[in-house]
Amino acid sequence: MNIFLFLFIVKIQLSFSLDPYAQQQLDRVSKLPGQNFNVSFEHYAGYVTVNEESGRALFYWLLEADEDPSSKPLVLWLNGGQWIFILYFFSESLSANVLFLDSPVGVGFSYSNITNDQLNNGDKRTAADNLEFLLEWFKRFPQYKGRDFYITGESYAGHYVPQLSQAIVRHNHKNGEVIINLKGFMVGNALTDDFHDYLGLFQFMWSVGMISDETFKQLNVFCDSQSFIHTSGPCDKVLDIADEEIGDIDMYSIFTPPCTANFNRFSRLLKQKKKVGLIRRAYDPCTEQHSTVYFNLPEVQNVLHVHKKNSPSKWETCSEEVNENWKDTPMSVLDIYRELIPLGLRIWIFSGDTDAVIPVTSTRYSIDALNLPTTSPWRAWYDDGQVGGWTQEYNGLTFVTVRGAGHEVPLHKPKQALTLIKSYLSGNSMPKLEQVSDL
């Protein structure tokens, strides 16, 4: 090869490795397969290595706000396995720059170069990896450094979100400066405290008529002091009895029908580039199955810059392998709330009230355990003149329920979820009923 050509190629490669904006352009996402509409925002997807020794790399997807993204905060969205909420954000005007993260390694498209590294996940390593991800991600997107930053998530992210918030606060304190400008966090239907989560779960299932009186009593005897993740044999037996009594319903949304769709037809429509209703207003009980089909399409993974050689062989909404091999998991994160609330962070907890996995009763028990003074009493909040749910404000924490929503609130009630996130980001209370004059 001509020496001058060689030096030119090396120079180009070095410029890309040193210039974060060049890497941003490599991560830019073009039009998605099946997308029959134009969007007015930019989005990026790719990987950030969080551990050089093992080659652990976490997959991210950034959706910038559609209007003046430079003036909007950055919101990190974490989940306990599900990724289907991206569809919701495509269908609404983005009021923030939203950063989705596949975490921990082995979830979604995230991977490790070490075989079976996904079998060694736990809360501590996940928090450390997520912090490292953010520190490296801000180097790639320096325009976001110093921006108001919030963390949100649902389900097992009830652990991830406060743990990462704690890690950021401690990292900033250790360095004597604000490295990451964390302003607050919000979690929904969140695993928080095993004792209260179980107590509220059993009460919820019994109160809506899902289980018998006898099973309700046995659950409280054999499971009340159990880990929500690692249960004992006697507790498992009673849980199996409860499962039989409950029958074939969607525990994540107890009043909606389960999925019975034909996914071969869905896949064919995608390949024919026909409109298939990926983005919809009404709740689709088959969203999880649609997502599995969609994110396993080679053309989708190509557009999202997925490293097919390294990432899990099949994209799944939840990784049973990761779940079954989970290591450390504290029985409560209420101690983190007690540490962070005095710092003045904006902390909100929301709950869809038709979820029977981590129901509203569980969340209420956990909040009550904090013994926070009430600053604004229990009341209904409204969306377009209709009760959207209920809310109560405490000293340092706001609680919001979303009426008729299941475990994944943005999936079940996207309009109300948008009202929720806008209220949270603006720091305003949930809307009251507006009085309309007859004049």
pLDDT 10s digits, 396-429 = 999 999 999 999 998 899 999 999 999 999 999 9
The whole-number average pLDDT for the span 51-58 is 95
The whole-number average pLDDT for the span 237-265 is 87
Q: What is the pLDDT of residue 282?
A: 67
Q: Which of 16-25, 75-84, 311-320 has the lowest mean pLDDT?
A: 75-84
Tokens in use for 186?
């919000």
Q: What is the pLDDT of residue 291?
A: 85
For 26-51, the pLDDT digits (tens) are 999 988 888 888 888 899 999 999 99
3-state secondary structure of 375: strand
Q: What is the pLDDT of residue 230?
A: 78
Q: What is the pLDDT of residue 365?
A: 98
Q: Which residues are catalytic?
A: 155, 355, 407
Please state, as a whole number, how many other Cβ atoms lie within 10 Å of the Cβ of residue 324.
10
Q: What is the pLDDT of residue 229?
A: 77
**Domains of the chain by start residue, with CATH:** 1-26 (no CATH), 31-431 (3.40.50.1820)
For 366-380, the pLDDT digits (tens) are 999 999 999 999 999
How large a percentage of the chain has pLDDT more than 70?
86
Q: How confident is the model at residue 2 (pLDDT cuts 50, 70, 90)?
A: low
Residue 17, pLDDT above cutoff 60: no
pTM: 0.89
Please state, as a whole number, how many other Cβ atoms lie within 10 Å of the Cβ of residue 11.
10
Buried-state track 56-89, b at ≥16 Cβ within 10 A, e below 16: bbbbbbbbbbeeebeebbbbbbbbbbbbbbbbbb
The contacts of residue 404 (CB under 8 Å, 6+ apart) are 255, 352, 353, 354, 412, 413
Based on its alpha-carbon atoms, the radius of gyration of the chain, rounded to whole angstroms, reads 22
